[in-house]
Homo-oligomer: A and B are copies of this chain.
Amino acid sequence: MAIPTPGRPVRGSRSGAPIMALFDLLGRRWGMGILWRLSEGPCTFRELQTRCETISPTILNRRLKELREALLIERCADGYKLTDLGAELYGLLVPLGSYARTWAACLRAETDEA
């Protein structure tokens, strides 16, 4: 699957709105998860596979290719790492971490009362 290109039709925008292209890319399975795990530090393919806990090498490899093409990650001596552009994106995802805990608490509360 080719990477979504801003300016060309993407899922959610026939005109290729950048945000929709980004959502299309990050919305692929494991997309954000890989960025998140890689933010813990550069690592090898196999180490990344371990960090992701349940990813298959097939899909890890495909996402890595896409994310490299999208300039978010790159190869290095230790295997793979975030580019500056990727690190910047990661920075925007960080707040989702604490939000997720709030969200989880709400879900639990809802489930309990039901």
- A residues with CB within 8 A of B: 5-7, 11-14, 17-23, 26-33, 36-37, 52-55, 70-71, 85, 88-89, 92, 95-97, 99-104, 106-108, 110
Contacts and interface: CB of A to CB of B under 8 A. Distances in A.
A35 B60 CA distance: 27
Q: Which of A21, A36, A104 has the most CB of B within 10 A?
A: A104
23 contacts: A6-B107, A6-B108, A11-B30, A11-B33, A12-B37, A12-B53, A12-B54, A19-B36, A19-B96, A19-B100, A21-B100, A21-B104, A22-B100, A23-B36, A26-B27, A27-B27, A27-B29, A27-B30, A71-B103, A71-B107, A88-B99, A88-B102, A89-B103
Contact of A107 (B17, B70, B99, B102): B70
